[in-house]
């Protein structure tokens, strides 16, 4: 079963620079296991020691967040697409009126 997996830029060092790879499996977890066989070290960046998805990693199966489905047990089939998306934090806090804070002094 061929599943297309989109790899984010920070993890492409594990896939020899490839932004998209193919893997096999009946669930998202199976696909991650298959990816680990071809690209060692990738899975430990996505899952913790207990095998659970790290909280700062989001995985989408056909544009649906797997956490809202069956997590790593989410079924997949030939032709499906999986996207790995690292969470991004940051940004400037806003001030009254909704304008972003600039870090400058108040006048």
- Residue 104's pLDDT is what? 52
Phi/psi of residue 6, each to 5°?
-90, 125
What CATH number has the domain spanning 3-86? Answer: 3.10.20.30
Instruction: Give me 63's structure tokens.
Output: 């544009």
Residues 6+ apart with CB under 8 A from 27: 70, 72, 73, 74, 75, 76
Question: What angle is formed at CA 10 by the lines to CA 73 and CA 37, rounded to 5 degrees?
Answer: 50
pLDDT in tens, 38-64: 999 999 999 999 999 999 999 999 999
Could you tell me the residue ranges of all domains in the chain?
3-86
- Residue 87's pLDDT is what? 85
């Amino acid at each position: 079963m061929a599943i297309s997996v989109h790899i984010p830029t920070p993890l492409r060092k594990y896939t020899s620079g490839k932004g998209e790879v193919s893997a096999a499996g009946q669930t998202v977890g199976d696909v991650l296991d298959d990816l680990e066989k071809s690209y060692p070290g990738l899975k430990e960046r996505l899952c913790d020691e207990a095998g659970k998805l790290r909280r700062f990693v989001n995985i989408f199966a056909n544009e649906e967040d797997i956490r809202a489905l069956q997590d790593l047990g989410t079924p997949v089939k030939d032709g499906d697409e999986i996207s790995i998306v690292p969470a991004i934090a940051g940004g400037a806090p806003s001030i009254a009126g909704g304008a972003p804070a600039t870090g400058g002094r108040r006048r």
